[in-house]
A and B are shown apart, each in its own frame.
Chain A
Amino acid sequence: MSSFDLVIVGSGPGGYVAAVRASQLGMRVAIVEEDRLGGVCLNWGCIPTKAILKAAEQFDAVRKGEVPGLKVSGIEADYGSVIDASRKAADRLNRGVGVLMKKGQIEVVQGRGTLTGNGGVSVKTPEGERQLQGAKILLATGSTELILPGVEVDGVRVLTSREALESRVMPRSLVVVGGGAVGLEFAYSYAAYGSEVTVIEMADQILPGFDSDVAQALASSFSKRKIKIRTKTAYRAVERSGDGVTVTVEGEKGEEQLRAEQILFGVGRRALVEGIGLAEAGVNVERNFIKVGKDYKTSAENVYAIGDCIGAPLLAHKASEEGVAAVEFMAGARKHPLDYGKIPACIYCQPQVASVGLSEAQARAAGHDVRVGKAPFVASGKAVGTGHTEGFVKLVTDAKHGEILGCQIIGADATELIAEATLAMSLEATVHEIAETSHAHPTLAEMVKEAALAAQGRPLNF
């Protein structure tokens, strides 16, 4: 048996970051991983999809002749090599995590970890069962694709994001079930390569929960890209037939059948809380997520949990923040809990979408005296110069003190621009501070400042 100050189960963006932080704080750390270091994010989520999206964006620009000075004929897609590139990116980062573990003298134990109670973790390694003992245990087991009852994922006709990331074949047509981040990113990529894509979403807008301005802007942009969007439409059933699938959906006009070569489910994720000895160790699970306090303590003594396995939002950076916070709480190095109202969410299709804090509707519902500052990218010199005039920055503020309640951005590099608003919210800067901060010209970030000025009723460039 090997003893550690901290045994972490799961090496995703929550677990490995927690391991690094724990090592910095002087803990002796072991991290248990049954698959590959880096978890879903790095291997089967955030990272490989970004490689695919970037390739899709470039291919799309070239195909549409949007690159000035570039004349192309006989353009041909090679989607297989896009998948290869995405795997390379994932592999490289996977090795990077390995290096970080070595640097922090963190012991990586390969295999599935199961709690055995009283600080014990049993790991089924390729070499046999190994017992680890941790003064503290951190569960960071993450989540996996949610598969609807009755759906049989075969990786050929019926896929989730996991299969799609290895599928080298570009279908001629695709039905995407789910108008959230995963569904829309795949919809965009596949459409860019010429696939006929239909997105099915049950809610009355794509990106449920996002600001409706942003959702509408994205929907209209997608429509221009010939992506069909069906909101208020529920998935009912799928049947394999010939060289494709027949998907039964139910919209406002009743049931209807859609034909496509593939169907991709992006309907959410399920926490991995089974078969890891939670009940035996006294760790309570509520609604399929591990129940924790603000300090990430579970119901079992000295057992902590973070990331997707404790609940929404299921985001890599949220898991990382929780990992750091949990370890700091353990070490007594932290007092303030994580502020969940200031965690950004991003979608990496084109135009990109990024959001932090409240949507306009949420802010109004919360009783704020809402003042919106909205700056369109068409007013940005940089956007016009680089041909990215689609979209806007929208600051949702409270009129009284200029408090920034939320920021919604749609457009090129939205996912980078959101950092400014997030920092502002984190520091409780108001529109007054943003409006008085010098922003380099020409940049897209100037539009964040313009939005702040607009919230004050004095935009300078539109």
Chain B
Amino acid sequence: MSLSVTMPQMGESVVEGTVERWRVAEGDRVEKDQVLCEVTTDKVDAEIPAPVDGIVSKILVPPGTTVRVGAEIAMIEAGAGAGATKSGGSAEAKPAAAAAKSAPAKSAKPAEQAKPAPTKAGAKPAAEPVGKAAPAKPAAEQSKPAAEQVGVEKSGDGRPLRASPLARRIAEERGLPLDEVAGSGIAGRVTKADVLGHTAEARPEPVAAATAGAPVVMASPGTLGEFLASMRVPQYAPREGDRVIPFTPIRRRIAEHMVVSKIVSPHVGTLSEADLLELVRRRDAIKGEFKRVHGYNLTYLPFLLQATVRGLQEFPRMNSAVVGQSIVERDGIHIGVAVETYRGLVVPVVRDADRLSVTGLAQAIEDLASRARERTLGPDDLQGGTFTVTNPGRHGNLYGFAVINQPQVGILRMGEVKKRAVVVERDGEDAIAIHPMMYLALSYDHRIIDGATGNSFLYAVTQHLQAADFEI
């Protein structure tokens, strides 16, 4: 029984993944859940486990290749050899663990049902490398079966034939698959400049990718799509002395997501000021004990999350998505918390935030943040967010407006908590007092949220935060 291992869905907006390296070779015997390969995608690094005991009969995707979600990346002869005696029957029941896991979750969400199937991957028999410099290739070659295309222009060791030794060295060092790089050198050879310039260039189909991720806005892709495609992006040509740092896969996808979000959603920013006097008192009263019991600091973030949850409950429009010509107010409140890691920004999701106390929220945040830093976040940790809160750090952060995390419609950004002189009313008299203050900056999607709703939501969150009446 031969089973295929496919590229799993690892986040809502993820349409492709890059096989970084294979831990097994063709012919290797593997046990169920043994790691087959390492994969990087949009926001997560993951290991793909063997779905069954068996023998790796075919590796369809060379390291460094980016393929669409759902594309076959390897074949396993289930139950072959010694593995057969261990757990022969289970093979058919559970193909490609990760993919199977995400499938039901996906279909449950209306937002994602509306997405067009990644047709390319679906129609073709095997992994189709994406991000390859398609225009550089003659059309005849493109129409070849995908599996064959993978083998094209490769030498015995899987590297493209036409690349300079220097280009190879640099690409190798940076983990850049050479077959993604279009060669501009003599007779199409891949040169140093090509490797350095590769990630800086716009990829061939960025607009098409945007369309796939956000079908709604592109209701008439013939017009807006063409308009976008016709846009010229001013390019800087690196000179001697410049330091060129090629995009990592995660950086590339962050960049893509940010651009897409700004195109898809007309962002409106609105700002409020929260007086945290009560909250600070409340937190100060319990933070020492909290640290002692839980072993980590109680920050303002879980409080803000709870205030946000309440705001979202009062204004469900903020907890929605745009699907086709409809607004979909989403069931469940799952809040993405932007975390900066050394590899870039990731947004793990605190699930069912409306069912958690401040302590529960703090626990969830601590857990996600530490796993993000350790790079052990799984696909499920990153998808399904309905709203995002971001806290870019304490210093030099009076306020700022974040980019909406698609397909959500709002993002709330914390400013730094700072003592300021404020006017307060005491016994009917105005007085100047020193209070800890924080700006809250909301970016919302004006397609479906008008000023009144946006402001009311932000006001509600601010009020909850100031009242400091939290479920600890």
Pick from A187-195, A299-307, A374-382, A426-434 the stretch touching chain B: A426-434
| A366-B240, A428-B192 known; A403-B166 Cβ under 8 A | yes
Q: Are A428 and B184 in contact (CB under 8 A)?
A: no
Q: Is A335 an interface residue (CB 8 A)?
A: yes
What residues of B have a CB within 8 angstroms of the CB of A430 in the complex?
165-166, 169
A304, B186: Cα distance in complex, Å = 22
A-B contact pairs, 24 of them (CB 8 A): A336-B186, A365-B241, A366-B240, A367-B241, A367-B242, A367-B243, A368-B240, A401-B166, A401-B169, A401-B170, A401-B173, A402-B169, A403-B166, A427-B164, A428-B164, A428-B166, A428-B167, A428-B185, A428-B191, A428-B192, A429-B165, A430-B165, A432-B165, A433-B165
Choose from B167, B169, B241 the contact partner of A366 (Cβ within 8 Å).
Answer: B241
Q: Are A335 and B184 in contact (CB under 8 A)?
A: yes
A-B CB pair tally, cutoff 8 Å:
40
A433, B192: Cα distance in complex, Å = 16
What residues of A have a CB within 8 angstroms of the CB of B243 in the complex?
367
Q: Are B165 and A427 in contact (CB under 8 A)?
A: yes
| A335-B184, A426-B186, A428-B192 known; A367-B240 Cβ under 8 A | yes
CB under 8 Å from chain A, chain B span 370-425:
none
What residues of B have a CB within 8 angstroms of the CB of A403 in the complex?
166, 192
A364, B167: Cα distance in complex, Å = 21
Choose from B165, B167, B169, B184 the contact partner of A336 (Cβ within 8 Å).
Answer: B184
Not counting A367-B240, A430-B166, a sample of 15 additional A-B residue pairs whose C-beta atoms are within 8 angstroms of each other reads A368-B240, A401-B166, A401-B169, A401-B173, A402-B169, A403-B192, A427-B165, A427-B186, A428-B164, A428-B165, A428-B185, A428-B192, A429-B165, A429-B166, A430-B165
A401, B169: Cα distance in complex, Å = 7
> 8 closest Cβ contacts across the A-B interface?
A428-B164, A366-B240, A428-B166, A367-B241, A401-B169, A366-B241, A429-B165, A336-B184
A427, B186: Cα distance in complex, Å = 8
Whole-angstrom distance between the Cβ of A422 and the nearest chain B Cβ: 13
Whole-angstrom distance between the Cβ of B135 and the nearest chain A Cβ: 12
Number of interface residues of B (CB under 8 A): 17
CB under 8 Å from chain B, chain A span 265-319:
none
Q: Mark B145-175, 1 if CB is under 8 A from A, else 0.
A: 0000000000000000000111101100100
Q: Mark A392-404, 1 if CB is under 8 A from B, else 0.
A: 0000000001110
Whole-angstrom distance between the Cβ of B72 and the nearest chain A Cβ: 35
- Give the interface of B toward A (CB within 8 A): 164-167, 169-170, 173, 184-186, 189, 191-192, 240-243
Q: Across the interface, name the chain B residue whose C-beta is closest to A367.
A: B241
What residues of A have a CB within 8 angstroms of the CB of B185 in the complex?
336, 428
What residues of A have a CB within 8 angstroms of the CB of B167 in the complex?
428
A428, B242: Cα distance in complex, Å = 19
A365, B189: Cα distance in complex, Å = 28
A118, B293: Cα distance in complex, Å = 88
Whole-angstrom distance between the Cβ of A125 and the nearest chain B Cβ: 40
Whole-angstrom distance between the Cβ of A295 and the nearest chain B Cβ: 14
A144, B191: Cα distance in complex, Å = 37
A426, B186: Cα distance in complex, Å = 9
Q: Across the interface, name the chain B residue whose C-beta is closest to A398.
A: B166
A365, B241: Cα distance in complex, Å = 8
What residues of B have a CB within 8 angstroms of the CB of A433 in the complex?
165
Q: Mark A315-342, 1 if CB is under 8 A from B, else 0.
A: 0000000000000000000011000000
Q: Are A429 and B164 in contact (CB under 8 A)?
A: yes
Whole-angstrom distance between the Cβ of A403 and the nearest chain B Cβ: 5
What residues of B have a CB within 8 angstroms of the CB of A426 in the complex?
186
What residues of A have a CB within 8 angstroms of the CB of B240 in the complex?
366-368
What residues of B have a CB within 8 angstroms of the CB of A335 in the complex?
184
A402, B169: Cα distance in complex, Å = 9
Q: Across the interface, name the chain A residue whose C-beta is closest to B184.
A: A336
What residues of A have a CB within 8 angstroms of the CB of B184 in the complex?
335-336
A253, B459: Cα distance in complex, Å = 81
Q: Across the interface, name the chain B residue whose C-beta is closest to A433.
A: B165
Whole-angstrom distance between the Cβ of A70 and the nearest chain B Cβ: 46
Whole-angstrom distance between the Cβ of A321 and the nearest chain B Cβ: 12
Q: Across the interface, name the chain A residue whose C-beta is closest to B187.
A: A336
What residues of B have a CB within 8 angstroms of the CB of A367 in the complex?
240-243
A335, B135: Cα distance in complex, Å = 14
A424, B273: Cα distance in complex, Å = 63
A452, B165: Cα distance in complex, Å = 15
Q: Across the interface, name the chain A residue whose C-beta is closest to B240.
A: A366
A167, B293: Cα distance in complex, Å = 100
Most chain-A CB neighbours within 10 Å: which of B165, B186, B191, B243? B165
What residues of B have a CB within 8 angstroms of the CB of A428 in the complex?
164-167, 185, 191-192
CB under 8 Å from chain B, chain A span 428-454:
428-430, 432-433
A433, B164: Cα distance in complex, Å = 11
Q: Across the interface, name the chain B residue whose C-beta is closest to A429.
A: B165
What residues of A have a CB within 8 angstroms of the CB of B242 in the complex?
367
Q: Across the interface, name the chain A residue whose C-beta is closest to B166.
A: A428
Most chain-B CB neighbours within 10 Å: which of A402, A426, A427, A428? A428
